[in-house]
Amino acid sequence: MSAADEARYCIRCGSLLSLQEMFGKLRPVCPACGWIYFADPKVAVAVLIPRNGQVLLGRRVNDPGRGQWTLPAGFIDADEDPREAARRECLEETGLEVEVVGLLDVLFGREHERGAHILIVFQAQIVGGQLIPSDDVDAVDFFELDCLPPLAFTTTQRILRKWQEKTLSSC
């Protein structure tokens, strides 16, 4: 979706916006008051939770990727600490309480129209709760890296590869 599709009217005065070259890009600009629309990126978190050499994945109930598996993940709310978003998403999707133990990666690029522009990937460990699927997953389980179910996103594959490389290099 382009910025022109996201904003059509000025949030200050209600005038119809027009596209103008501003700061090196075509941007919606208010001809009446000069307000410029700058599209904010969507930011999400994903959480890699290892246990005994396996990783936790959830099976998606929504498109895109319905029926396929991915890491616990979701959007960060405005004014929410990314680590808290990671804990919240894990609890909502898996029933597990986790402690974030490190930053694994920060990825850029949208895989689908409703996806995040920036994905912050944390590693976490389980500190409580009970493994129960909920929210936008209908199954959760731990998998060996050499026996993964169908994965929903290439970012999930990239994250798992990076974690595996990191794990092997620390041996």
Question: Could you read off the pLDDT of 34-89 as tens digits, one per residue?
Answer: 999 999 999 999 999 999 999 999 999 999 999 999 999 999 999 999 999 999 99
Integer distance in angstroms from the first to the last C-alpha of the chain?
44
Are residues 32 and 110 both part of a single domain?
Answer: no
- Assign residue 158 the CATH number of its domain: 3.90.79.10
Based on the domain organization, do 62 and 102 belong to the same domain?
Answer: yes
Question: Looking at the structure, do residues 111 and 133 belong to the same domain, yes or no?
Answer: yes
| CATH number for position 1 | 2.20.70
pLDDT beyond 70 at 170? no
Q: What is the pLDDT of residue 1?
A: 59
Q: Structural domain tally of the chain?
A: 2
pLDDT digits (tens, 9 = 90+) for 81-94: 999 999 999 999 99
Averaged pLDDT, 142-169: 91
Q: Which domain holds residue 153?
A: 43-169
Cα separation, 29 vs 13, in Å, equals 12
Average pLDDT, the chain: 94
Read off the pTM.
0.87
